[in-house]
Amino acid sequence: MAMLPDERGSTSDAVALNSWDATLDVIAAPSSGRVSSLSQGLFRHLRSAIRANTGAKAGRYYFEVEVLERLPEAPTLLLVGFSTDRSPLFLGSTSSSIGFDSKGSCCSKDTSTAAPDDASRIGVLLDQEVGEGRVSVFLDGQQIGSTAIPRLHGKALFPTLTFQNVTLAVNFQSPGPERSHAFGWIAQEHLVRSSCVETTSQEVIIPVALPSSGLYDWSLRMREMQPELVEIGDEMMAEWSASSGLSSRSGTRDDPQLSSLGIEQLRKREVWHKALMGVARSSKKSLIHSSVRRNLVEAERCSILKNFPAAKKTAVVLFGKPDEDFKDWVKQKMRLQYEAEKAELERKKSSAEAAGEEPPTEELKEPPEADFLPSGKTEVSERALAHDLRYFSLPSKAEGFDEIRYEWADEETAKEKLLQWLRERKARQVVEGLTPGEWFNAKYEDWKKARRVFQNGQRDFSGRSQGDESLADKVAAIELSKVKDPHDADGNGTPIYGNFKYEDWIVLSFRYEFHLLCHAFPIDAADPDREGLPEEHLEHYWKTYFHHHFDPKKLGVTNLAGVLKVLKDPIGLKDMPGTRMLFSSCDKETSIDVFVVAVEAYRRDRARRIEAGDESAALDIPRAKATQPAKADGAAPQKGVMRSVPKTAPKAPPKAPVAKQPAKQALPSGAPSVGKAPVAKQPAKLPAQPSAAPGGKGQAKVAVVKMPAKRPNGMPSNGPPAKKPRPEERV
């Protein structure tokens, strides 16, 4: 661009738009001043921004922007103003920028923009010579307004554009109002060059770190140190969307739930990610991909690298404690934030006092010592971590990296830290989507069949032993170490489980089902870092495998510790990093017969201890409440049988049927009249009574016994009513 010197001397290089300091979708021709952006698909909904390569720290300088074209039937926007070097590109997003829209309205951090109108030229004048500094706006050559810039006064301010779906021509040579100069004529002593310069080659950097270990902070520091670096990834796209006026994002920094923004092209990640990778590749800019979860997964890393075949590919592993330089940077950032908040608070107090209002009473606390910047945002969700834990790994050159750097710890230390973290994390997290596998299903079906066979055999033996008490002694005399067949332990058809009681079957069931679960979990999890079943997740996995809740009360206890105390063997707990794991001391292929013999040994041991006076050896296992068959109408409750009290009020017992009585009964002559029997309900009308018996004149009148239509429940036909059952005896 041609330069016109002024009387104070001019720049030796052209003032122009800086395509290296712009959003990825910008198409700029610095020599002509024309600039536009991609406006199809995803990019139709996103705002674009670009900054000039030169800023002014003093003087009065003017530049102008002309709208050449507006995309029909699309949202359009144009903001023109100034921003500081390395600050966010979008005007009005922070206090480091100031601008005006095409109606002349000021747009800053605390103001919103108006809808664009038909103004074709917008000019802005930066005046750093007045007291607090001032920026004025001109529409089609006419001054519309101005605003003071006390926070930006004295700083180097760079011409900046924020636009959407328009084509523009930027003129840094346009003469401004009186006593001002074209920005292209800026004096050497007033100018500051942009720190964002063209790179000779493209580089793609992928930092790898554990959650809450400073990955996003490290990425920010790298971009501050190398302004030409552009962040790509989910958080960058979320911030771009928010700066484009789309609704605020939700989710985490790794997964910000862009589908909730209501834009079709953002509903599916693969769609917008493909578009983003395309413009990033063609921009030739150096990039840094910030994501905790995805950068830990080999497949995700490879997917990113394949988009940049010609770029240098670098992995940076951030494991261990950060170095002193990084800590100093964190400390400085926190101090600057504290000072900015303190200055803002003082400004509010001064304004309140000047207006005669109550000043703010809040007090700021000194920033604490920390290795990383405080953030109210979650980096990655627990659900996402649980889903991908099995795939986490450190990068290798086999993935396509040209260089792998270990920043805070060497490779061996990083490997140890990752392995330790994985074990602790997996121990605390449920395996999402886990289902019982083939091995468990087969073993569990075998167990259910075997249990029925054992219990049928025990019932048969109990029937035989009622007539021959010596059979129980035969079971007790069998040497357990010689048992080959639990159904025929002595060769004479005596089952080793013949003396089993209710509690022994409960113990057997718990022991074997625990054994199956302890071996099935690591098989189905298919993860070498999940060596056992975490005790805190027992309830979840018990329901997953057995389809009912884990209930210690069935063993007469209230928790897992009590269960293990009752069962004794073969289930136990062993300490692991961050948790304790359940395990079975038996091999996973141990026969069910072995468990039956072991329960018999346990039963004999308890019996000997009880006989010796050790009452603590007795198992206090509650029996399941048996369901009583429904009683026949009119039948009294069985003697000695207690029935469970229903949760709701019981209905009145049904009334027993009553045999029909004759309508009337003749009494012998001279007999006294019979009184009325108790009745449950009187009939509406009584039949007419004859005045005399059919014998003729002189016979006595007959009194008729009135029988009830129905008798109370339990009343026999020839006796008093049966006693009503108590409420707890009712079904």
Look up residue 392 and give its DSSP letter.
B
Contacts of 470 (CB under 8 A, 6+ apart): none
Residue 728: what pLDDT?
41
- What's the rounded mean pLDDT across residues 522-550? 91
Specify the amino acid at residue 720.
P
pLDDT tens string 329-339 = 999 999 999 99
**Which of 206-210, 429-433, 458-462 is predicted least confidently?**
429-433
- What's the rounded mean pLDDT across residues 378-388? 88
pLDDT above 60: residue 347: yes
Specify the amino acid at residue 117.
D
- What's the rounded mean pLDDT across residues 216-241? 93
The span from the first CA to the last CA of the chain, in angstroms, equals: 100
pLDDT above 90: residue 22: yes
Contacts of 566 (CB under 8 A, 6+ apart): 507, 555, 556, 557, 619, 621
pLDDT band with cut points at 50, 70 and 90 for residue 383: confident
- What's the rounded mean pLDDT across residues 140-152? 91
More confident call, 10 vs 49: 49
- Rounded Cα distance, 58 and 494, in Å: 107
pLDDT above 60: residue 708: no
- What's the rounded mean pLDDT across residues 429-449? 92
- Rounded Cα distance, 430 and 530, in Å: 11
pLDDT band with cut points at 50, 70 and 90 for residue 432: confident
Contacts of 205 (CB under 8 A, 6+ apart): 222, 229, 286, 287, 288, 289, 314, 315, 316
Percentage with pLDDT > 90 across the chain: 56
Q: Are 34 and 17 in contact (CB under 8 A)?
A: no
Indicate the pTM of the whole model.
0.70
pLDDT above 50: residue 667: no
Percentage with pLDDT > 70 across the chain: 82
- What's the rounded mean pLDDT across residues 303-328? 96
Q: Hey, how many other C-beta atoms are within 10 angstroms of the C-beta on 18?
A: 21
pLDDT band with cut points at 50, 70 and 90 for residue 626: low
SS3 215: helix
Region at 640 (left for phi over 0; alpha for psi -120 to 50; beta for the rest):
left
- What's the rounded mean pLDDT across residues 692-703? 43
pLDDT above 50: residue 697: no
Instruction: Look over the chain and give the mean of its residue pLDDT values, rounded to a whole number.
Output: 83
pLDDT band with cut points at 50, 70 and 90 for residue 175: confident
Q: Hey, how many other C-beta atoms are within 10 angstroms of the C-beta on 514?
A: 23
pLDDT above 50: residue 135: yes
Residue 108: what pLDDT?
65
Contacts of 443 (CB under 8 A, 6+ apart): 516, 520
- What's the rounded mean pLDDT across residues 583-603? 94
Q: Are 211 and 255 in contact (CB under 8 A)?
A: no
- Rounded Cα distance, 107 and 133, in Å: 16
Residue 109: what pLDDT?
55
SS3 574: strand
Residue 294: what pLDDT?
96
pLDDT above 80: residue 443: yes
Q: Which helix (H) or strand (E) holds 300?
A: helix 298-305
- What's the rounded mean pLDDT across residues 256-278? 90
pLDDT above 60: residue 434: yes
pLDDT tens string 463-493 = 888 877 788 888 888 999 989 999 998 888 8
Q: Hey, how many other C-beta atoms are within 10 angstroms of the C-beta on 185?
A: 24
Domains of the chain (ranges; CATH) run: 17-193 (2.60.120.920), 199-322+371-429 (3.40.50), 438-617 (no CATH)
SS3 42: helix
Report the Cα 241 to chain-centroid distance in Å: 24
pLDDT above 80: residue 8: no
pLDDT tens string 632-657 = 444 444 443 334 444 444 444 455 45
pLDDT above 90: residue 520: yes
Q: Are 247 and 262 in contact (CB under 8 A)?
A: yes
Residue 542: what pLDDT?
96
More confident call, 660 vs 579: 579
pLDDT tens string 48-104 = 999 999 999 999 999 999 999 999 888 899 999 999 999 999 998 888 999 999 888
pLDDT band with cut points at 50, 70 and 90 for residue 695: very low
pLDDT band with cut points at 50, 70 and 90 for residue 117: low
Q: Hey, how many other C-beta atoms are within 10 angstroms of the C-beta on 546?
A: 14
Among candidates 552, 556, 557, which has minimal Cα distance to 542? Answer: 552
